[in-house]
Amino acid sequence: MRSATKHVLLEAMQWGALALGIAAVVYFFDDLVSVFRGPDRLPTLAEAMRDAPPEDEADSGFDRTVKLRADPNGHFVFKAAVNERLATFVADTGATYVVITY
């Protein structure tokens, strides 16, 4: 191969590797943040449920509370286990404005 072709291919591979690295950071951002979070964070819903004391059989299940902190965008995002698989959820608190036309 000619030197110019090798140079173009090498530069294309470098840009591709950079793009792949950026895509990986964006895709795994939540996981990376959870690794570097400090001890003052609120527990996830799955952690709170796992660490909670067992309930009585006759209990309705509504006596416990879960506190959610809004993210910088104002959304309430939390992780919970469904069928023993961890998933990310958004709590919908309702619309800020309601417009009804007729």
pLDDT at residue 23, rounded to an integer = 94
Q: Is the dihedral of CA 59, 65, 81, 74 positive or negative?
A: positive
Which ranges constitute the DSSP H helices of 28-60? 29-36, 45-51
Query: Global pTM?
Result: 0.36
What is the tens place of the pLDDT at every residue in 51-92? 666 655 445 555 667 777 878 877 788 888 777 788 888 887
The pLDDT of residue 86 is 81
Question: Quick one: pLDDT at residue 82?
Answer: 79
Contact between residue 101 and residue 90 where contact means Cβ atoms under 8 Å apart: no
Q: What is the per-residue burial (b if ≥16 Cβ within 10 Å, else e) of 30-67?
A: eeeeeeeeeeeeeebbbebeeeeeeeeeeeeeeeeeee
15-38 pLDDT, tens digit per residue, is: 999 999 999 999 988 777 777 766
Cα–Cα distance measured from residue 4 to residue 13, given in angstroms and rounded to the nearest whole number: 14
pLDDT score, position 97: 63
Cα dist. 85→52, 64, 81 in Å?
Answer: 18, 22, 5
Please state the rounded mean pLDDT for residues 43-58.
Answer: 64
